[in-house]
């Protein structure tokens, strides 16, 4: 069993803290909409059917609502005029599949009476003000905030954001701390950040619901979720899986080194404005192939079509970085190209390093278990400038070469960051 480093818990909470004061609901929508597109909600053939659906869906699955609505027949088509004149008993029989039919029949009668004051006319309703309509609806028996907003948004096209249990669950899992208890306060988070746009609110809520059904279920199914790149829960779940694996395959010293690199990488990421979740995952996985011996590394490269250059055919050390990036993708479902690049570049670097690449390479060379004056110098430099720390870090990582030439990519990197592109003798 490997020992856990002190401070690991605080590290996890620091990674999470990225979101504590930042509710970037626009970025969440961008990810959702890029994946799901325009869902054209609500699934109904008339505004009145939306009203009925919004009432019937309370405390039941949508499939039961569809069964109830299908009970309105050709002779008795769903319309406010019909619901107005049929008896409560007849209505109960029709909507029975939706459950809680006694209450819901009462609610449908009540909301239909509300609609009648506008002559069952959508345009007449639309001429009223949103606050006034919302107040009226909330006074109707059985119409709560979520139902009122669903009706106003999806039946009449008013820009009012719908908050439901899926929305709260999603915000919690994304890592947003202190989600307000009051419905209106959560709604304000969205409406403050987003433009007042009914079409946007319509599709945003639809995407949340669909994502909750496909991925963010009560037990999350994170693989393939479009929000995995911005989700704290994803990182936690992955981190636990990865840690269990690393604890098995790495020796104690290497495992401690990995956790120390995570801590250092998160610190550097915070200091230099780099995504801390990406830094954490890249750091955690940077040495995941270190458990493989030379023969296993070469076999892995053959089987996964990883090309070794002449240098790496003579020095196997940098190969773990390329194999590690591939394992991160194949074994741990990490698809983020920034993370994969940072893993593959951490050993020898390259000329065009991203900020995340630099964070991982520098963290690898300067984490607290590394000792030496050159490490202290690199640590000091890293606090000020990643570009200044990078060449120092590469020198530290190349100690094992004992004077033998560095990989050509490392030389190029040193030329760029140490000598402004001028060639150096290796």
| Residues that bind ligand SF4 in the complex, under the rule CB under 6 A | 170, 173, 215-216, 220-222, 225, 227-228, 231, 233-234
Shortest spacing between CB 342 and ligand SF4, in angstroms: 20
Shortest spacing between CB 261 and ligand SF4, in angstroms: 24
Which DSSP state fits 161?
Answer: -
Which DSSP state fits 137?
Answer: H
Within 10 angstroms of residue 321's Cβ, the number of other Cβ atoms is 25
Q: Of 115 and 176, which has the nearer Cβ to ligand SF4?
A: 176
CB 24 within 8 A of CB 195: no
User: Under the phi-then-psi rule, with left for phi > 0, alpha for psi from -120 to 50, and beta for the rest, what region is 34?
Assistant: alpha
Q: Of 69 and 239, which has the nearer Cβ to ligand SF4?
A: 239
Shortest spacing between CB 26 and ligand SF4, in angstroms: 16
Q: Of 148 and 227, which has the nearer Cβ to ligand SF4?
A: 227
Q: Of 169 and 254, which has the nearer Cβ to ligand SF4?
A: 169
Shortest spacing between CB 210 and ligand SF4, in angstroms: 12
Q: Of 231 and 312, which has the nearer Cβ to ligand SF4?
A: 231
Counting other chains too, the contacts that 205-208 makes at CB distance below 8 Å and 24 or more residues apart are 205/41, 205/153, 205/161, 205/162, 205/164, 205/167, 206/36, 206/39, 206/41, 206/42, 207/29, 207/32, 207/33, 207/35, 207/36, 207/39, 208/32, 208/164, 208/166, 208/167, 208/170
Q: Which residues fall within 8 angstroms of residue 352, CB to CB, at 6 or more apart?
A: none
Which DSSP state fits 154?
Answer: I
Shortest spacing between CB 75 and ligand SF4, in angstroms: 45
Shortest spacing between CB 332 and ligand SF4, in angstroms: 14
Q: Which tokens sit at 242?
A: 């990865």
Q: Of 222 and 418, which has the nearer Cβ to ligand SF4?
A: 222
């Amino acid at each position: 069993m490997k020992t856990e480093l002190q401070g690991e818990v605080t590290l996890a909470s620091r990674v999470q803290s990225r979101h504590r004061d930042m509710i970037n609901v626009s970025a969440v929508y961008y990810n959702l909409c890029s994946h799901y597109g325009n869902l054209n909600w609500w699934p109904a053939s008339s505004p009145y059917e939306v009203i009925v659906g919004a009432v019937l869906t309370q405390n039941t699955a949508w499939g039961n609502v569809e069964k109830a609505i299908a009970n309105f027949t050709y002779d008795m088509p769903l319309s406010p005029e019909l619901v107005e004149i049929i008896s409560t008993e007849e209505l109960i029989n029709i909507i029975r599949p939706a459950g809680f039919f006694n209450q819901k029949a009462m609610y449908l009668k009540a909301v239909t009476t509300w609609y009648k004051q506008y002559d069952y006319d959508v345009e007449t309703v639309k001429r009223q003000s949103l606050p006034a309509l919302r107040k009226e609806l909330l006074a109707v028996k059985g119409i709560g905030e979520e139902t009122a907003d669903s009706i106003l948004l999806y039946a009449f096209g008013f820009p009012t954001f719908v908050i439901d249990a899926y929305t709260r669950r999603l915000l919690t899992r994304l890592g947003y701390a202190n989600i307000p208890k009051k419905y209106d306060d959560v709604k304000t988070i969205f409406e403050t950040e987003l433009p007042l746009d009914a079409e946007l609110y319509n599709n945003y809520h639809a995407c949340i619901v669909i994502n909750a059904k496909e991925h963010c279920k009560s037990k999350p199914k994170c693989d393939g979720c479009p929000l995995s790149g911005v989700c704290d829960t994803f990182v936690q779940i992955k981190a636990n899986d990865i840690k269990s694996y690393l604890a098995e395959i790495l020796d104690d010293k290497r495992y401690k080194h990995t956790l120390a690199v995570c801590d250092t990488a998160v610190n550097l990421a915070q200091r230099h404005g780099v995504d801390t979740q990406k830094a954490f995952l890249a750091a955690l996985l940077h040495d995941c192939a270190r458990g493989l011996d030379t023969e296993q590394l070469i076999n892995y490269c053959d089987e996964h079509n990883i090309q070794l250059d002449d240098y790496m055919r003579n020095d196997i050390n940098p190969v773990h970085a390329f194999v590690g990036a591939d394992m991160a993708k194949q074994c741990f479902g990490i698809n983020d190209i920034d993370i994969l690049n940072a893993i593959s570049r951490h050993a020898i670097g390259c000329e065009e390093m991203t900020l995340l690449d630099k964070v991982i390479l520098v963290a690898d060379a300067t984490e607290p278990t590394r000792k030496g004056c050159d490490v202290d110098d690199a640590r000091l430099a890293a606090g000020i400038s990643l570009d200044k720390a990078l060449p120092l870090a590469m020198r530290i990582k190349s100690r094992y070469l004992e004077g033998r030439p560095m990989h050509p990519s490392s030389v190029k990197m040193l030329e760029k960051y140490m000598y402004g592109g001028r060639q150096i003798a290796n």
